[in-house]
Structure 1
């Protein structure tokens, strides 16, 4: 049970300190794709700590779990974990608590996905009502682009088996051809990177465990970083000035650039595009990627260290 306690402490420290450590650096805004990977590795490490602690606690509490978990292992490996032969009551309580947490995570993720699907169906129905098909059009036509009659400039994508890009006539009249292409490239960047899945997972964890700092910060950062990453996709093809002007054209009528506006997300994106900072060097990006990849390996090393030491000895 010492290993299980170590894993719980490690997971708790990671959940509490990782958001503060990542918030200190300015590099995530320069490398949003890399920052998303780092956040995913950190969250995966926290979840791994909980899963492995649950498995070891269950093995310490119940002989049946122990037999299944250590079935292929030699006796010296089992002895290295110092599991009590009669089981421990408090170990069972820890295992049940962690199992309930896992079930609750699954419930919240299922609820998040179902809510997203219901919203997507409603938006598809609204889209069909506002832009009905002509009689000679096939009912299952997979149009990638739909134009809506609306004076307000806007553009978005609908995820699903047939992802669709939607743009209003207001955007068509306000933006230039190159700016429209940049907006569409931005939305296609979301589709290709499957950003909606990251949004669903981060939302489920933050909703299920609102008092866990790393999950709340993960949701906030995902919503921000996916937009920066999509901006970079569009700017590489059409230039930073083009996508910045397109953002201004789509949002200037919504009050997001006013002094009293509480929505600083779009103004910051425009400022970032107009005053770009140099990217990290290839070597530093490689080091950060490798370091982030090793973070989930730490709980695995803590878990398997006694068994590997016993085999090596």
Structure 2
């Protein structure tokens, strides 16, 4: 039972305490890509630790007999007693796995559902662009005859960057190239996949602080990461001006607009840059993000053996 208590405390720490610390961390906006990795690490850590904790609560007694796969699972406390030479799981073993399986499969199910909805929405937009849009090789984008200035991208396999006629009218050449670089950063970085993960996790565990904050913070951090990519090749003033011009522009469902969430925070960040966190800081965060999901597994197996 001590193992179950430890794993439960770890899940509560990851799901209810650490998110508030990460939201307030100053380095997060200085290294947004690392911060996104940290949120993903917390999500995986919570699922692993919660599933293992529930499993240990269900299993009243454990016999640590190493016998093939079931023996290894028994030693780690995943199934009940594994008898030597017995490779057929008992009904009680399968029943004990139902609870942990639900914790794992619930976010996975929402992930598949969210991905399916997003893919359908993108396909509707692509079908519409085939009718009203015209390709522009000079911009490597699709032009839509619309007066409202807007620039957005449709990620995925059939990715597109869309620019309205209104945006072409108000943006200068350097400003347009800067905002296009921002949108291509979303596509090249597969940022929509990170949004799908946090959206699915938020729907699976709606009352969890980790789910709520990850769902809120990840879109902003991804926009900052795209800003940083654009700033490698374009002036800060150009990108900031372009954001002001096209920020209010509409972006359809399943698209990532140039304005994006937290426009004022991003503008302040672009125009008043801060030093990146020290190498030791972001390396430590990366290592912790990768190690955090492994700790419950290492503790469970190490404690059992």
TM-score class, shorter: 0.7 to 0.9
Q: 1:81 to 1:300 in 2, by over 3 A?
A: closer
Contact 2:219 2:261 (8 Å CA) reproduced: no
Answer with 1 or 2: which has the greater Rg.
Answer: 1
For normalisation by structure 1, the TM-score amounts to 0.79
Aligned-partner SS, 2:168: helix
Q: Does the alignment pair 1:216 with 2:212?
A: yes
Superposition pairs of residues 1-313 of structure 1, within 5 angstroms: 1-53=1-53, 69-71=69-71, 78=75, 95-131=97-133, 144-251=140-247, 265-307=262-304, 310=305
Give, in whole Å, the separation in 2 of the partners of 1:122 and 1:13: 42
Q: 1:282 to 1:72 in 2, by over 3 A?
A: closer
Q: 1:61 to 1:36 in 2, by over 3 A?
A: same
Give, in whole Å, the separation in 2 of the partners of 1:97 and 1:185: 46
Structure 1 residues 91-100 or 121-130, which shifts more? 91-100
Aligned to 1:257: none
Kindly provide the CA deviation profile for residues 275-294 of structure 1, in whole angstroms up to 9, marking residues without a partner as x: 11111122332222223322
Give, in whole Å, the separation in 2 of the partners of 1:250 and 1:197: 24
Give, in whole Å, the separation in 2 of the partners of 1:8 and 1:69: 26
Give, in whole Å, the separation in 1 of the partners of 2:53 and 2:197: 22
Q: 1:56 to 1:196 in 2, by over 3 A?
A: same
Aligned to 1:260: none
Aligned-partner SS, 1:238: coil
Larger % of helix: which?
A: 1
Kindly provide the CA deviation profile for residues 263-310 of structure 1, in whole angstroms up to 9, marking residues without a partner as x: 971112111111111111223322222233222222122112124xx4
Unpaired runs of 5+ residues, structure 2, are: 83-91, 251-259
Unpaired runs of 5+ residues, structure 1, are: 134-140, 255-262
Aligned-partner SS, 1:71: helix
Contact 1:59 1:69 (8 Å CA) reproduced: no
For normalisation by structure 2, the TM-score amounts to 0.81
Contact 1:151 1:169 (8 Å CA) reproduced: yes
Q: 1:81 to 1:42 in 2, by over 3 A?
A: closer
What RMSD, in angstroms, separates the aligned Cα atoms of the two structures? 3.5
Kindly provide the CA deviation profile for residues 235-266 of structure 1, in whole angstroms up to 9, marking residues without a partner as x: 11102221111101113678xxxxxxxx9711
Contact 1:80 1:306 (8 Å CA) reproduced: no
Aligned-partner SS, 2:214: helix
How far 1:19 moved relative to its partner? 1.1
